[in-house]
């Protein structure tokens, strides 16, 4: 199965890093308009890169849309109607399945995924939501793909926005900073405060 990423930004880099860590052996192709991004990805992860959109998607069996939300419509218009069935997964926050299907419908089957950046070390969490026409076999392949970089969780699409603002690992960093700062304020030195706060948060997660 050839996986084609449309967009060579941070989340693509994080996912590919996690896939390489998991020894994912299937072909990976990355399309981006910026050649410097493609050069970095090719050098770092040994992926195939394309600067021609149609050439990139011609071999796609799993298509990962990894561009900014405001760029989705333009990119899908550039892709144009497809004759061959393909499973497509959008990582674009706030762009619903209905809009994706309206811009590029059957035979393309759409899903949404929201992977955390921690997927780069294989400890990510990815929320998934599938369009009504997504086949059972394709669902299984998508779940299997994202499970290589961490846990997966299928949720109703109406919960996606709430999930997105809750699950970011930056929330944990903020909590750690707040708790350790409070500990310093009542007398602990910085190193001890951070150690105590980290222990408290870790124990809460494992409970």
Each residue's pLDDT tens digit, 66-103: 999 999 999 999 999 988 889 999 999 999 999 999 99
How far is CA 141 from each of CA 81, 175, 199, rounded to the nearest angstrom? 23, 35, 37
Same structural domain for residues 150 and 126? yes
For the chain, what is the domain count?
2
Work out whether strand 124-130 and strand 150-154 pair parallel, antiparallel, or are unpaired. Answer: parallel
43-55 pLDDT, tens per residue?
999 999 999 999 9
10 CB contacts (<8 Å, ≥6 apart)? 117
Same structural domain for residues 16 and 40? yes
Tokens linked to 181:
């700062």
Same structural domain for residues 16 and 102? yes
Same structural domain for residues 43 and 83? yes
Same structural domain for residues 172 and 153? no
Helix (H/G/I), strand (E/B), else coil: 204: helix
CATH of the domain at 123: 3.40.50.720
Same structural domain for residues 108 and 177? no
Same structural domain for residues 147 and 183? no
Selected residue with higher pLDDT from 48 and 166 = 48
Same structural domain for residues 140 and 187? no
Helix (H/G/I), strand (E/B), else coil: 129: strand
Same structural domain for residues 120 and 180? no
pLDDT for residue 207: 46
Instruction: Examine the pLDDT at 131 and tell me if it is beyond 50.
Output: yes
Same structural domain for residues 138 and 90? yes
Which structural domain, as residue segments, surrounds residue 172? 168-206
Q: What is the mean pLDDT of residues 23-36?
A: 95
């Amino acid at each position: 199965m050839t996986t084609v990423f449309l967009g060579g930004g941070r989340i693509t880099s994080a996912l590919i890093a996690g896939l390489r860590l998991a020894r994912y052996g299937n072909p990976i192709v990355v399309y981006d308009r910026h050649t410097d991004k493609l050069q970095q990805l090719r050098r770092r992860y040994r992926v195939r890169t394309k600067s021609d959109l149609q050439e990139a998607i011609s071999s796609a069996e799993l298509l990962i849309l990894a561009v900014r939300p405001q760029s989705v419509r333009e990119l899908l218009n550039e892709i144009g109607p497809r004759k061959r069935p393909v499973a497509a997964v959008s990582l674009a926050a706030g762009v619903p399945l209905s809009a994706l299907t309206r811009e590029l419908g059957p035979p393309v089957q759409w899903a949404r995924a929201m992977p955390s950046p921690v997927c780069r070390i294989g400890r990510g969490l990815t929320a998934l939501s599938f369009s009504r026409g997504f086949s059972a076999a394709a669902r299984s392949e998508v779940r299997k793909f994202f499970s290589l970089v961490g846990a997966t969780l299928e949720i109703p699409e109406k919960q996606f926005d709430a999930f997105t603002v809750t699950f970011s690992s930056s929330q944990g960093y903020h909590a750690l900073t707040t708790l350790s700062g409070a500990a310093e304020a009542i007398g602990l030195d910085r190193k001890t405060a951070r150690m105590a706060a980290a222990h408290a948060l870790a124990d809460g997660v494992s409970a």
